[in-house]
């Protein structure tokens, strides 16, 4: 049995916020994999189901972000789930928008939801870090994460969430590489052409070069001109040639 936790804030006011991307991921997993209806428990919303034969508990804490650890620790104690079997889906400022990474253990990097979980169960749990980008200055972070995703971001957001749902079985099985590949196929689909040349004999037929029309009959060659007669040799003596020159 494993516990998947999505971080966010409860209520319609926050539903589309960047901070709520963890909730969004769990909602799609529950819908796509026929999980049980959500019910209130452990200061949050809980749904149960299976992924690849592994029983999974989905939890969306409703304590607000900075008290998420209370809900997580209650659910973990009830189901007797160790931190190593817990995976938390959360927004990540230090990743480019719609990039996804998997991490085990480590610090909370100032994330209030992770900070609270650290306080209640320690840091030895897995995280699925969902990139939302950084506003550029730390003073703008609080407002930025509580803003809805822009309209231009809806398509890449949807593709990333669908990739997460499609790779959820691999994640439940502990195969993070296969999970990330499923996300990548959605967010960075392969190009339709590989650029490789087809094998000989299997490529498109080569067209023969165009040929001009064939003449009905070749035109006759013009007759060669008659050869010029050779000049007769000059048999005059040198004195006669000189005399002829003075007569002209």
Q: Is residue 202 part of a domain?
A: no
Question: Residues 19, 33, 90, 111: which is the catalytic one?
Answer: 19
- 190 pLDDT band, cuts 50/70/90, is confident
**Least confident residue range of 47-56, 140-149, 232-241:** 232-241
- Residues 193-219: pLDDT tens digits? 655 554 544 444 333 344 444 444 445
What does the alpha-carbon distance between residue 47 and residue 26 come to, in Å, rounded to a whole number?
Answer: 9
* DSSP, res 167: T
Q: What is the DSSP string of 171-213?
A: HHTT-HHHHHHHHHHHHSPPPS---PPPPTTTSPPPPPPP-PP
User: 154-166 vs 21-32: helix axis angle to the nearest 10?
Assistant: 50
pLDDT score, position 134: 96
pLDDT at residue 142 greater than cutoff 80: yes
- CA dihedral (135, 141, 146, 149) in degrees, to 10, reads 10
Q: Is residue 123 part of a domain?
A: yes
pLDDT score, position 206: 39
177 or 196, which is more confident:
177
E strands present in the chain: 2-6, 39-41, 44-51, 54-61, 86-92, 100-104, 126-131
- 224 pLDDT band, cuts 50/70/90, is low
**Least confident residue range of 48-52, 64-68, 141-145, 240-244:** 240-244
**Least confident residue range of 138-147, 170-179, 188-197:** 188-197
- Residues 30-79: pLDDT tens digits? 999 999 999 999 999 999 999 999 999 999 999 999 999 999 999 999 99
Q: What is the mean pLDDT of residues 14-24?
A: 98
Can you give the CATH number for the domain in which 122 is found? 3.40.50.1470
Q: Is residue 231 part of a domain?
A: no
Structural domain for 10, as ranges: 2-187
Total domains present in the chain: 1
pLDDT at residue 117 greater than cutoff 90: yes
108 is catalytic: no
Sign of the Cα pseudo-torsion (198, 199, 205, 207, in order): positive
Q: Is residue 19 part of a domain?
A: yes
pLDDT score, position 33: 98
């Amino acid at each position: 049995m494993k516990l998947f936790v999505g971080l966010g804030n409860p209520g319609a006011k926050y539903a589309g916020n960047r901070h709520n991307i963890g909730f969004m991921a769990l909602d799609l997993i529950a819908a796509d994999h026929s999980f049980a209806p959500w019910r209130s428990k452990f200061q949050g919303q809980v749904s149960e189901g299976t992924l690849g034969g592994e029983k999974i508990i989905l939890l969306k804490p409703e304590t607000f972000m900075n008290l998420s650890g209370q809900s997580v620790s209650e659910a973990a104690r009830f189901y007797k789930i160790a931190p190593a079997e817990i995976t938390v889906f959360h927004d990540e400022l230090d990743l480019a928008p719609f990039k996804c990474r998997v991490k085990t253990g480590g610090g909370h990097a100032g994330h209030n939801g992770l900070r609270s979980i650290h306080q209640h169960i320690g840091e030895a749990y897995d995280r699925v870090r969902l990139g939302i980008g950084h506003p550029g200055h730390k003073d703008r972070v609080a407002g930025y994460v509580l803003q809805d995703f822009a309209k231009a971001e809806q398509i890449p957001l949807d593709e990333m969430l669908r990739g997460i749902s499609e790779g959820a079985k691999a994640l439940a099985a502990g195969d993070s590489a296969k999970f990330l590949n499923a996300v990548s196929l959605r967010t960075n689909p392969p190009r339709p052409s590989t650029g490789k040349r087809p094998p000989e004999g299997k490529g498109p037929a080569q067209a023969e070069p165009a040929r001009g029309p064939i003449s009905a009959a070749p035109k006759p060659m013009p007759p060669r001109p008659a050869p010029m007669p050779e000049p007769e040799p000059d048999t005059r003596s040198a004195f006669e040639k000189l005399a002829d020159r003075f007569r002209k």
